[in-house]
Chain A
Amino acid sequence: EVQVVESGGVLVQPGGSLRLSCAPSGFTVSDNYMTWVRQAPGKGLEWVSDIYSGGSAYYADSVKGRFTISRDNSKNTVYLQMSSLRAEDTAVYYCARGPTPPRPIVVYWGQGTLVTVST
């Protein structure tokens, strides 16, 4: 069974850094399209970043230069390194997987991890 599990969300001060982890089961991250989508409280969905099986990665303009997506194949884990965090980065962050063959849409969603950026 395909499952996606995120972790790492906490309360962090503005300007701080944080790393989110996504450790799925039932599939190999290096073979799949993986993405992070966030949702601010009471707001809509916002695509953040994604990474393809070949290693190509893309970012939303709002996080470019501050966030980095990466993958550790030995741990079957995807990461989202976030730095220079701002209040507007406060959101539930979902790790998600695309279909097979890989396409930039989401089929499997994690339950999300809450990141709160506040003093």
Chain B
Amino acid sequence: AIQLTQSPSSLSASVGDRVTITCRASQGISTTLAWYQQKPGKTPKLLICDASSLESGVPSRFSGSGSGTDFTLTISSLQPEDFATYYCQQFNSYPLTFGGGTKVE
């Protein structure tokens, strides 16, 4: 199974900060990676698909990049509503896998 390692597992940031989260795959997955945001007590929300394609309605301060084994999710200017846990997911091959999550607090 392809393992996804997210770093850091948590980070402390302030409103207005630029935040970068990384996701590393144990083998190459091209751009078959998605990013989700989950707020406490809520269901996850799809932010980005295909490593860099922003989902409709997602603010442009979110961006994704990478291919192969190394990926990043960037929030250009952190807003109060962005404090949440972020997960990456690979859909290159089965079994599908999620990263362990990064909590932005």
Contact = CB atoms under 8 A, between A and B. Distances in A.
A46 interface: yes
Contacts of A45: 36, 38, 44, 87, 89, 98, 101
A23 B71 CA distance: 35
Interface in A46-90: 46-47, 50, 58-61
Main secondary structure of the interface of A (DSSP, over half): loop
B95 interface: yes
B95 A103 contact: no
Interface in A72-119: 94, 99, 103-107, 109-112
A47 B97 contact: yes
Contacts of B89: 45, 47, 105
Nearest to A60: B95
A26 interface: no
Interface string B41-60: 00110100100000100000
A41 interface: no
A33 to B, nearest CB: 10
Interface string B74-103: 000000000001010101001111111100
Interface of A: 44-47, 50, 58-61, 94, 99, 103-107, 109-112
Interface of B: 1, 34, 36, 38, 43-44, 46, 49, 55, 85, 87, 89, 91, 94-101
